[in-house]
């Protein structure tokens, strides 16, 4: 049924950087068809090609280019909306849609830490989706985490399951696209690095604990581990790199840890969801890898790459993680969330 009759979906914040990535990724999706584009009042009423400053690699799909943009009001011809709204406006708009019966798949931070809202990475915590049973809306809200958090938890979860994790230290080197459009001035970033991304370190430290936690009494009991994050902006277009050190609760051998990563599979892979990478994790023996330019598009941008596992003189082990921030860490991750929600029976026409 899904393949023959595609599910109508809308995009909120359709003219922004995340909204554009939703359009790019959804145009050939086997389950979904874009039927509505929502944006600000100044864009509403215009054709999308006139309202947006398109900067994706692929041209605007002709059908989308000639769609009329609507305001972000819950009268769109669909029941599922993907939200790429800026956090400054996302909260009340997403709640209005959920109250009206829409399923909101959000990339914004506003509802991530709400007790009964899943902060979902389907390969990591698919059981957290059950939190939507406890929401009081006519519809539902599901969120995905910060882009830098996503890569980190993909690397940590397999280790947590087998060995347990006590402490984590992570230093990020984050791509320019994570700052949105127009982003950072060229005069600030060329020949430079910026050792500060507002709110990013706090998000990584708290979101990771919720994602790796357990469902209990209509909320999540946060994981019992300590995280220290330092976040930097670097001159790379796409792909967040992270230098991670971990202290494990149980002894581990490096060869066994690598095998744990390479063989890791979860519900999205077992269900064969369209956006589920298989393998979900690549491990590189070459100490030069992973690199953003070479490996960010593995698994159509949904896989995570790990390399350089070695002993750490402060904690136990250290390694490097790479993930595609606008695909796995934003729009693609949200699309995978919607696929899991549908496959688990939470959507009815």
Q: Active-site residues: which are they? A: 147, 240
> How big is the chain, counted in residues?
349
Of 157, 147, 123, which is closest to residue 278 (Cα–Cα)?
Answer: 123
| Tokens read off for 218 | 């209509």
What residues form DSSP beta bridges with 167?
Answer: 226, 247
Residue 19: half-sphere exposure toward Cβ, Cα within 13 Å: 27
Residue carrying structure tokens 């696929």 = 339
Helices and strands (DSSP H and E) totals, the chain: 11, 14
Q: What backbone phi and psi angles, to 5 degrees, belong to 314?
A: -105, -50
Cα separation of 273 and 137, whole Å?
27
Structural contact between residues 321 and 306, judged by C-beta atoms closer than 8 angstroms: yes
Cα separation of 36 and 44, whole Å?
11
Residue 264: half-sphere exposure toward Cβ, Cα within 13 Å: 29
């Amino acid at each position: 049924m899904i393949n023959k009759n595609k599910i109508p979906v809308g995009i909120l914040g359709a003219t922004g950087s995340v909204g554009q990535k939703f359009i790019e990724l959804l145009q050939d999706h086997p389950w979904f068809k874009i039927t509505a584009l929502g944006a600000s009042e100044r864009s509403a009423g215009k054709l999308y090609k006139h309202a947006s400053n398109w900067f994706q690699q692929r041209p605007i799909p002709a059908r989308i280019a000639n769609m009329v943009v609507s305001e972000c009001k819950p009268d769109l011809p669909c029941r599922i909306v993907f939200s790429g709204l800026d956090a400054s406006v996302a909260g009340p708009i997403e709640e209005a849609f959920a109250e009206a019966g829409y399923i909101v798949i959000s990339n914004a931070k506003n509802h991530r830490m709400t007790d009964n809202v899943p902060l979902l990475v389907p390969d990591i915590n698919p059981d957290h989706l059950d939190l939507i049973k406890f929401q009081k809306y006519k519809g539902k809200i599901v969120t995905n985490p910060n882009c830098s958090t996503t890569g980190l938890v993909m690397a940590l979860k397999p280790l947590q399951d087998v060995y347990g994790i006590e402490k984590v230290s992570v230093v990020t080197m984050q791509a320019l696209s994570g700052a949105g459009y127009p982003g950072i001035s060229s005069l600030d970033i060329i020949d430079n690095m910026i050792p500060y991304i507002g709110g990013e370190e706090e998000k990584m430290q708290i979101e990771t604990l919720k994602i790796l936690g357990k469902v209990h009494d209509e909320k999540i009991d946060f994981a019992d581990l300590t995280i220290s994050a330092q976040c930097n902006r670097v001159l790379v277009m796409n792909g967040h790199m992270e230098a991670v050190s971990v202290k494990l609760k149980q002894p581990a051998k490096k060869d066994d840890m690598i095998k744990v990563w390479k063989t890791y599979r979860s519900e999205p892979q077992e269900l064969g969801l369209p956006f589920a990478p298989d393998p979900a994790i690549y491990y590189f023996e070459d100490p030069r890898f992973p690199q953003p330019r070479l490996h960010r598009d593995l698994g159509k941008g949904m896989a995570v790459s790990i390399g350089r596992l070695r002993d750490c003189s402060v904690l136990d082990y250290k390694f490097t993680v790479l993930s595609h921030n606008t695909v796995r860490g934003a729009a693609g991750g949200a699309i995978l969330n919607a696929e899991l929600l549908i496959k688990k029976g939470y959507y009815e026409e």
